[in-house]
Structure 1
Amino acid sequence: MTGYQSSSASRVASRACALALGGMIVGAMAPAIAAEDYRPDPNQTAIEADGGESFFGSAMDYVANNTYGRLGVLHFHYYGSSTDLHVDNATGLAAQAFGPGGSDLDGTGSSAGNKTSLGGVIGLYLPKTNHHLAVEVLLAPPLKLDFQVSGDAVDQSLAPTALNGANGQTIPTGVPPLGRNIGTFKALPPNFTLVYRPWVDTMVEPYIGAGAMYLYTYDTDVNNTVLNELGEPELYLNKPVACVGQLGADLNLPNNMFLNADVKYIGCADVESRVNDIQVNSPTLSPTFGPVDVGSVSSTNEFRAVIYQVSFGMRF
């Protein structure tokens, strides 16, 4: 427990914060919160937990007086690896360019862009741990990230030639490279971590944590000009649960304020991506044979990312 004394203004703010936090975690925490865990300030009146309603009030008061929050700048940096792009089932002209059936496009892959945004954390010290243990929830607005291709897919045509000419030579398709960005998607990655602080009465409080993140994505959009020339394909991303490792430190300031630096590693998850209904125009072949119906192209990412965060915080 820190040596800083809460002011009455902080207690008022804490109750407002508790209403937001309590709905998420007080139900899970309530069995562990006994009446003796709540130690009111001299100007507060103790609430006896002798009934359902008073127990709930005591639990809410515990949350209000054992909560902290921080707000600052968040940077999401992705550095995962990917399998080669895979054409699932090429037919027609696409089979002439990629080979019939499924085939891998060597030297290619997929990735996600980086993003800087505002980000915050709400934490709750666990009962009977003297502030050594806490649970934290990362809060951030939806991150709009770029869905990208990598390797040869960026600056080389994936189907430079197709068919056989009269003398056995291939015919250039004129299909241009895709470029790096294929589309966008929004990520709303809720994550929960359990944090351990070995020292809680020092000016600098380091901590370590572990938890899980649900890689929830939505609102996908393919906006690549080559892929959209004959109609917009559909981007699909699965939504696995990833593991989270956390390191950070608080620098304590007067009046229950503190500065924070935090790093979260996210991994242990495979993200499958698929772009469906792909049709591309071949300037040399499409006027005669029609569009090249590629169908679906997929890849699997070994998801690895780091979230860096610098924040200003307040204990309530």
Structure 2
Amino acid sequence: MKSLKLTVAAAAFLAAVPAHADAGDILVRGRAILVSPTEKSGGIYPTFPNEAVSVSDSWTGEVDVTYFATDNVALELIAATTKHDVGGEKALKPVGKLADTWVLPPTLTLQYHFAPKAKVRPYVGVGANYTIFYSEDASRSLESAIGSTKVKLKDSFGYSLQAGADFALTDKVFLNLDVKYIDIDTTAKLTTGTLVNRVKVSIDPVVFGIGVGTRF
């Protein structure tokens, strides 16, 4: 009998939560995200044409703001920055980390929310991002092997894909699960004295996020 009463009470509480999003609403979320590159690279030309490079995963925090233009259609802007290590995969693998860089990929996404007035509100999105690379550094191990080296990565413009869901906790507070694919292509330039090496890398990370948000 006690378990039945608890079940009824829980159902009544959930039924009483008028969780929804309307045209004109603004959602603000804070997420913990894992940025996991699915990288592919060419060789490092001209010195290591048969080499390939890898890019490490990175955890960070993310803030996003979503504006509902209609009950179902919204625009989301995310802000986050991550640091990634770059390593060799073949002949340069024993060197370990070759370089590291900070990445800032502001992304604007057009979303469609399937059930904006439900307690579970799934959505999908498609958008664009402009990725900025900054504070690039060659590793000590690389410079010990080939000498003092300057590293520069070219900024990138690409598309993004998104899917996720908001789960109502109260009238204004919700849990969020989110996954994105971001198209990021760059060319890394490594300058060692008069020698310049370049490598093209498609980083293309999958970004997994979990967080909480509120509605204004």
CA distance in 2, matches of 1:109, 1:229: 17
Q: Is 1:111 the equivalent of 2:57?
A: no
Q: Say which SS state the counterpart of residue 254 (structure 1) adopts.
A: coil
**Where does residue 91 of structure 2 map in the other structure?**
152
- Which aligned pairs between 1:69-80 and structure 2 lie closer than 5 A? 69-80=28-39
Of 100, 103, 108, which aligns to 1:184? 100
User: As a proportion of its length, which structure holds more strand?
Assistant: 2
Q: Give the equivalent residue in structure 2 for 1:121.
A: 64
Counterpart position of 1:304: 204
RMSD, matched Cα = 2.4
Higher helix fraction (1 or 2):
1
Q: Supply the distance in 2 between the matched residues of 1:187 and 1:251 (Cα, whole angstroms).
A: 30
The CA distance in 1 between the partners of 2:52 and 2:108, in whole Å, is 30
CA offset at residue 228 of structure 1? 4.1
State the Cα deviation string for residues 126-153 of structure 1 (Å, max 9, x = none).
1xx2x2011111122x322212222232
List gaps (5 residues or longer) in structure 1: 7-36, 39-61, 88-102, 156-177, 279-292
CA–CA separation in structure 2 for the residues paired with 1:112 and 1:84: 14
Unpaired stretches in structure 2, ≥5 consecutive residues: 1-16
Partners of 1:265 and 1:114 in 2: CA distance: 14
- Is 1:137 the counterpart of 2:77? The answer is yes
Whether the 8 Å CA contact 1:222–1:228 is kept in 2: the answer is no
Of structures 1 and 2, the larger Rg is shown by 1
Q: Show the 5 A alignment for 1:234-253.
A: 234-253=150-169
Inter-CA distance 109–73: structure 2 relative to 1 (3 Å threshold): same
Is 2:83 aligned against 1:68?
no
Residue 231 to residue 124, structure 1, CA distance change in 2 (3 Å): same
**Structure 1, residues 63-93: CA drift from partner, whole Å, max 9, x if none?**
xxx1111112111001110012212xxxxxx
Aligned residue among 12, 15, 18 for 1:3? 18
Is the 2:18–2:171 Cα contact (8 Å) retained in structure 1?
A: no
TM-score normalised according to structure 2 size: 0.84
Normalization by structure 1: what TM-score? 0.59
Query: Contact 1:223 / 1:232 at 8 angstroms: preserved in 2?
Result: no
**Secondary structure at 2:204 match in 1:** strand
Question: How many residues in Structure 1 have an aligned counterpart in Structure 2?
Answer: 200
Show the 5 A alignment for 1:1-316: 3-4=18-19, 66-87=25-46, 104-106=48-50, 108-126=51-69, 129=70, 131-140=71-80, 142-155=81-94, 178-179=95-96, 181-228=97-144, 231-267=147-183, 269-277=184-192, 295-316=195-216
Higher relative contact order (CA 8 A, sep 6+): 2
Q: Percent identity of the aligned residues?
A: 23
How far 1:231 sits from its partner (Å)? 4.6
Are 1:139 and 1:190, in contact at CA under 8 Å, matched by a contact in 2?
yes
Residue 221 of structure 1 deviates from its aligned partner by 1.0
